[in-house]
Amino acid sequence: MIQYLDWDSSFFEKKIGKLTVDEDVDALDIESINEGNFDIVYIFSRKPICVEAALVDVKITFIKAVDIFAESINVVDFNPLKHSYEQLVNLAFVSGHESRFLKDPNFGIDHFKKLYKKWVDNAISDENTIIKVYEENKSIMGFAICSLKRDENKIGLIAVDAGFQGRGIGSLLVKSIENAIEPGELLYVATQESNTLACRFYENLGFAHYSKVNIYHYAKHSL
């Protein structure tokens, strides 16, 4: 059964639904999906399925029991009174370069940017979410957002400015996130299988594979 997604439908101004597919299913009947008259249906499946829909993401989730690390003086909590909001948002766009909402033309770059800006805004206003930034010369060169919930701590967004990549800034950000969590608690992070650099990055930091999900977008009409 397709679940109507109220938030997505309101935000994107389209009728959007979600279908989670049983692992035993090999193919989907498009006619049954069309019966709900959705503009777009997100289809989540643990294994590849035969369906007339675009495979927009193969989501890999990693997991790790956190450690304690020495802090970098360049990594601090984001402060709206001190740091540039615009720099933070622009880095959020960088973090989503493999996003399914960017890849799917039924959404497009404007909706993608609107979504990731909203992600940043929610993180700033949520007391259970932390934002770590790497600052140098009073500018933000990298950031990481993590929602905190016992054994469900999740890194949502992370990115480093293109001119500063390869300097270990991403590692410093993740380690700072770990320091904000009780030792031994679990930390999750998800990325795209196509983003091989990110997958290798998390593996090198001691994360292990936790799950893999194929995500399809079915659009009844060209929007």
> What are the tens digits of pLDDT across the range 189-203?
999 999 999 999 999
What is the extent of the structural domain holding 124?
Answer: 62-211
pLDDT reading at 37 higher than 70:
yes
Domain count, the chain: 2
- Report CA-CA distances (Å) from 31 to 52, 98, 146, 147, 199: 11, 30, 40, 39, 36
pLDDT value of residue 223: 44
Q: Do 141 and 45 lie in a common domain?
A: no
pLDDT band for position 31 (50/70/90)?
confident
pLDDT reading at 41 higher than 50:
yes
**CATH assignment at residue 80:** 3.40.630.30
- Report CA-CA distances (Å) from 36 to 26, 45, 116, 215: 21, 19, 28, 19
CA torsion sign for 168, 174, 179, 183 is negative
> What are the tens digits of pLDDT across the range 89-100?
999 999 999 999
Q: Do 36 and 131 lie in a common domain?
A: no
Q: Do 157 and 111 lie in a common domain?
A: yes
Q: Do 103 and 38 lie in a common domain?
A: no
pLDDT value of residue 136: 92
Model pTM score: 0.92
Task: Please name the residues in contact with 200: beta carbons below 8 A apart, sequence gap of 6 or more.
Answer: none
Q: Do 37 and 49 lie in a common domain?
A: yes
Q: Do 190 and 155 lie in a common domain?
A: yes
Q: Do 91 and 151 lie in a common domain?
A: yes
> What are the tens digits of pLDDT across the range 80-130?
999 999 999 999 999 999 999 999 999 999 999 999 999 999 999 999 999
pLDDT reading at 221 higher than 70:
no
Q: Do 177 and 81 lie in a common domain?
A: yes
> What are the tens digits of pLDDT across the range 151-180?
899 999 999 999 999 999 999 999 999 999
Q: Do 120 and 197 lie in a common domain?
A: yes
Q: Do 167 and 82 lie in a common domain?
A: yes
pLDDT band for position 53 (50/70/90)?
very high
> What are the tens digits of pLDDT across the range 7-28?
999 999 999 999 999 878 888 8
Q: Do 138 and 49 lie in a common domain?
A: no
Chain centre to alpha carbon of residue 24: 27
Q: Do 10 and 78 lie in a common domain?
A: no
